[in-house]
A = this chain, B = another copy of it.
Amino acid sequence: MATAARSTKYRRQSDTDLSRMEIMEGAALCFEARGYSATSLDEVAARIFSTKGRIYHHYASKAELFLDVYRTGMLMNFQAIEPILERDMPAIERLKAVLKAHVMCVIRTKAFQNVVGQGVDMLRHGTMPANEHAELEQLAALRDAYSDHFRTVLEQAMADGDIAYANIKIALNSVFMCINGPIVWFTPRKGQDEREIEAVADECVLYAIRLLGYRGEMP
């Protein structure tokens, strides 16, 4: 049985984080493919050759699992860009680097980011499945904080005269639509190496900064 194979791999004390991560990965793939409410926990369990019992051992509800995937996706984003924000360089270069890091992260963690997108939609429409308001607002705050990082860099690059936008809300939304695009339209090829993925990311970044009025060419 596949279950037996898995159990020797994970069945050790304090491996619960590993187990949760395996569950989250299965859940992210299912949520991405069929959406939150269309995916049953039995599907998620089947995807990792397990059972619903295991999921409910780690999560109190379907919503809690979803929120954990959401949170993990956001944390992946933060980890990708925060080191770059501390670097000392011209704002426009920091902008390019941050955009690139975001796109690369988004492509690599496509399923998780798709769930993040669904979560944002749910927050927007107030149709979250959970009742834990604390959790919800905390995640909304996370999202805002992440967005603010980009807003700040935009404003700095604008002050330097390297880019020009009219309404920062619309500009920021457009940039996000652009660099989050791969979540929707990118389909990984078999045997596609890192170089090719970087080329896609570079092109996305180029379009994003062009959108902001950047005139220079890319390195």
Q: Which residues of A contact B (CB under 8 A)?
A: 32-38, 121, 125, 127, 165-167, 170-171, 173-174, 177-178, 180-181, 184-185, 200, 203-204, 206-208, 210-213, 215
Q: Tell me the minimal C-beta distance from A29 to chain B in angstroms.
A: 10
Q: Is the interface of A mostly helix, strand, loop or mixed?
A: helix
For this chain, the copies found in one complex come to 2
Which residues from chain B contact A125 at a C-beta distance below 8 Å? Answer: 32-34
Bound CA–CA A114/B211 (angstroms):
24
Assembly CA distance A92 to B96 (angstroms)? 28
A166 in contact with B38 (CB, 8 Å): no
A127-B33 Cα distance, complex, nearest whole Å: 7
19 new A-B contacts at CB < 8 Å, known A35-B121, A174-B207:
A33-B127, A34-B37, A34-B127, A35-B35, A35-B37, A36-B38, A37-B37, A37-B38, A166-B203, A166-B206, A170-B207, A171-B203, A173-B184, A177-B178, A177-B180, A177-B185, A210-B210, A211-B211, A215-B215
